[in-house]
């Protein structure tokens, strides 16, 4: 496809490509066509990136807050200017509708501008001590960061992985998903063009397990930041233990949505259906398990199905598309398997449950209901366009179902009862909770989970602090 950008690795400000390096074919998920060949790092590339990151840290840890703010604000401005190109690139390599890709650009703009202010608020504190002596608590950048970003938000994930270390004064080596490299390179280029020293942020690609073992195996790396599945997150956390690297782990979820019988069902559906099928359901905070009080169950399920059937599925580059293809060939296969397993256990498939067309990775918006709790899909993150709707009797049962799984990323609840809203805010085991809303993020607000959904936060003041260490200095 025309106007898909060139692909390379960015090491020490140099576009690295060619040589004897292996390549990875980047595919447009709407057509199945190969649109680019991505060079993959060999061990020498990774060693060079590590050496440069060490230099970059020495430079950037001494930068003033104003230097950091200038770079972050400059990059935000450039992203605004390049918004259409960045969004098109993301849609070509990931599939999502252009409108959603544009929102990702704006999320990065908001986050970089927030961090540009936050760099002036990284205060330490002075302790009360006898005259002539002094004790201070300082917060310092942790060191070079290895950051791994997945393909579901090809612009937003790299924005988070780059923005926080840069605000904190760290250097960073980013390995974004090989399926969506050009978006990540586009975000990095905005930072470099805004004046970020070339040693401070680099991008490599490769065989994920080789790259992560190599980078985390080096004592140069002081922090791991990973977004992806719980199983890979646990593996990387184990690797990080060897060099005692700090970790921010943003892992899987299985978002429960509690719908009580005191709500306006139409109002909930107006929000929930769009939320479910955003990015074809490939969102870690996707609303997934709809836990519906029995009096409104049938109305909710039927309204959901009716709306799901009206969603316009197509190429994300087409203006009227509401849901694009899934991002890669693995996803429709996984969803087919999960739906077949659920049907085998007695679940009802109300709509969808099949691929659309014979090119690309399109899947029909799907709704399962009355699903036995031992079906795989009720326990594994589906990461696809499938809503799971089950009836429950009362608040106690609904909370128990919400907290049943080892995941705890996002949870949602709809009820008009104020006291119940308060209880749910306490009782639901999740890092982020939406009450009568599916909006659970913001540049100023911590994003992260509990239990198997990981630990540490991105975004907000917490995102920068996660890239810093504490030091106490006592002067006698």
Active site residues: 250, 284
Question: What is the SS3 assignment for 90?
Answer: helix
| Residue closer to ligand NAD (CB basis): 382 or 391 | 382
Q: Applying CB under 6 A, which residues contact ligand NAD? A: 148, 150-152, 177, 208-209, 212, 227-229, 232, 235-236, 250-252, 284, 330, 381, 383
Q: Tell the smallest beta-carbon distance from residue 405 to ligand NAD (Å).
A: 13
Structure token digits, residue 4: 């898909």
Which residue in 406, 416, 415, 419 sits closest to 452, CA to CA?
Answer: 406
Q: Tell the smallest beta-carbon distance from residue 281 to ligand NAD (Å).
A: 10
Q: Tell the smallest beta-carbon distance from residue 204 to ligand NAD (Å).
A: 11
Which residue in 265, 298, 305, 256 sits closest to 416, CA to CA?
Answer: 265
- Beta strand residue intervals within 252-358, DSSP E: 255-259, 287-293, 348-351
Do the Cβ atoms of 314 and 320 come closer than 8 Å?
A: yes
| Residue closer to ligand NAD (CB basis): 171 or 286 | 286
| Residue closer to ligand NAD (CB basis): 304 or 407 | 407
Q: How many CB atoms lie within 10 A of CB 384?
A: 24
Q: Which helix (H) or strand (E) holds 269?
A: helix 265-277
Q: Which residues pair with 392 in a beta bridge?
A: 293
Do the Cβ atoms of 145 and 456 come closer than 8 Å?
A: no
Q: Tell the smallest beta-carbon distance from residue 270 to ligand NAD (Å).
A: 25
| Residue closer to ligand NAD (CB basis): 246 or 307 | 246
Q: Tell the smallest beta-carbon distance from residue 317 to ligand NAD (Å).
A: 22
281: left (phi over 0), alpha (psi -120 to 50) or beta: left
| Residue closer to ligand NAD (CB basis): 199 or 381 | 381
CA–CA separation, 459 and 462 (whole Å): 6
**Pairing mode, strands 432-435 and 410-414:** parallel
Do the Cβ atoms of 465 and 458 come closer than 8 Å?
A: no
Burial class (CB in 10 A: 0-12, 13-18, 19+), 403: middle
CA atoms within 13 A on the CB side of 198: 7
| Residue closer to ligand NAD (CB basis): 312 or 330 | 330
| Residue closer to ligand NAD (CB basis): 241 or 470 | 241
| Residue closer to ligand NAD (CB basis): 92 or 174 | 174
Q: What is the largest CA-CA distance in the chain?
A: 78
Q: Tell the smallest beta-carbon distance from residue 401 to ligand NAD (Å).
A: 20
Q: Tell the smallest beta-carbon distance from residue 333 to ligand NAD (Å).
A: 10
The CB-based long-range contact list for 69-72 (8 Å cut-off, 24+ gap) reads 69/116, 69/117, 69/119, 69/120, 70/194, 70/195, 71/166, 71/191, 71/194, 71/195, 71/196, 72/112, 72/113, 72/115, 72/116, 72/119, 72/163, 72/166, 72/167, 72/194
Q: Tell the smallest beta-carbon distance from residue 386 to ligand NAD (Å).
A: 12
- Beta strand residue intervals within 114-176, DSSP E: 125-127, 134-141, 145-149, 172-176
- Sheet with strand 172-176: strands edge to edge: 14-16, 9-11, 201-203, 172-176, 145-149, 223-227, 246-250, 454-455
Q: Tell the smallest beta-carbon distance from residue 321 to ligand NAD (Å).
A: 21
R_g of the chain computed on alpha carbons: 23
Structure token digits, residue 449: 């989970």
| Residue closer to ligand NAD (CB basis): 72 or 177 | 177
């Amino acid at each position: 496809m025309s106007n898909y950008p060139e692909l390379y690795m960015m090491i020490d400000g140099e576009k690295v490509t060619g040589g004897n390096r292996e390549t990875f074919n980047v595919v447009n998920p709407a057509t199945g066509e190969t649109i680019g060949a991505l060079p993959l790092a060999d061990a020498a590339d990774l060693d060079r990136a590590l050496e440069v990151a060490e230099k970059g840290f020495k430079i950037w840890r001494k930068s003033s807050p104003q230097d950091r703010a200038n770079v972050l604000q400059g990059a935000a401005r450039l992203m605004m200017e390049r918004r259409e190109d960045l969004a098109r690139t993301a849609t070509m390599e990931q599939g999502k509708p252009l409108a959603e890709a544009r929102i990702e650009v704006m999320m990065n703009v908001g986050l970089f501008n927030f961090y540009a202010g936050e760099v002036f608020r990284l205060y330490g504190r002075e302790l009360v001590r006898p005259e002539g002596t002094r004790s201070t608590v300082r917060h310092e950048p942790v060191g070079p960061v290895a950051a791994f970003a997945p393909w579901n938000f090809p612009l937003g994930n790299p924005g988070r992985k780059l923005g926080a270390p840069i605000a904190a004064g760290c250097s960073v080596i980013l390995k974004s998903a090989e399926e969506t490299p050009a978006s990540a390179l586009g975000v990095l280029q905005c930072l470099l063009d805004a004046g970020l020293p070339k040693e401070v942020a680099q991008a490599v690609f490769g065989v994920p397990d080789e790259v992560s073992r190599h980078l985390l195996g080096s004592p140069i790396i002081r922090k791991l930041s990973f977004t992806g599945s719980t199983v890979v997150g646990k593996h990387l956390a184990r690797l990080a233990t060897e060099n005692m690297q700090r970790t921010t782990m943003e892992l899987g979820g299985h978002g429960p949505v509690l719908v009580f019988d005191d709500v306006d069902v139409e109002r909930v559906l107006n929000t929930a259906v769009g939320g479910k099928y955003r990015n074809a359901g490939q969102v870690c905070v996707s609303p997934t398990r709809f836990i519906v009080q029995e009096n409104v169950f049938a109305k909710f399920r039927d309204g959901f199905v009716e709306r799901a059937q009206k969603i316009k599925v197509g190429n994300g580059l087409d203006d009227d598309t509401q849901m694009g293809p899934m991002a890669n060939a693995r996803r429709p296969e996984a969803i087919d398997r999960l739906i077949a397993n659920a049907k085998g256990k007695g679940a009802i498939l109300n709509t969808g449950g099949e691929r659309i067309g014979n090119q690309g990775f399109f899947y029909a918006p799907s709704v399962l209901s009355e699903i036995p709790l031992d079906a795989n899909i009720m326990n594994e993150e589906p990461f696809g366009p499938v809503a799971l709707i089950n009836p429950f009797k009362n608040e106690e049962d609904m909370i128990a179902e919400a907290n049943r799984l080892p995941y705890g990323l996002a949870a949602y609840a709809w009820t008009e009862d104020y006291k119940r809203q308060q209880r749910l805010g306490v009782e639901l085991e999740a890092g982020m909770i939406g009450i009568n809303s599916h909006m659970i993020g913001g540049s100023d607000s911590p994003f992260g989970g509990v239990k198997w959904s990981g630990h540490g936060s991105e975004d907000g003041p917490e995102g920068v602090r996660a890239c810093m260490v504490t030091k106490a200095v006592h002067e006698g």
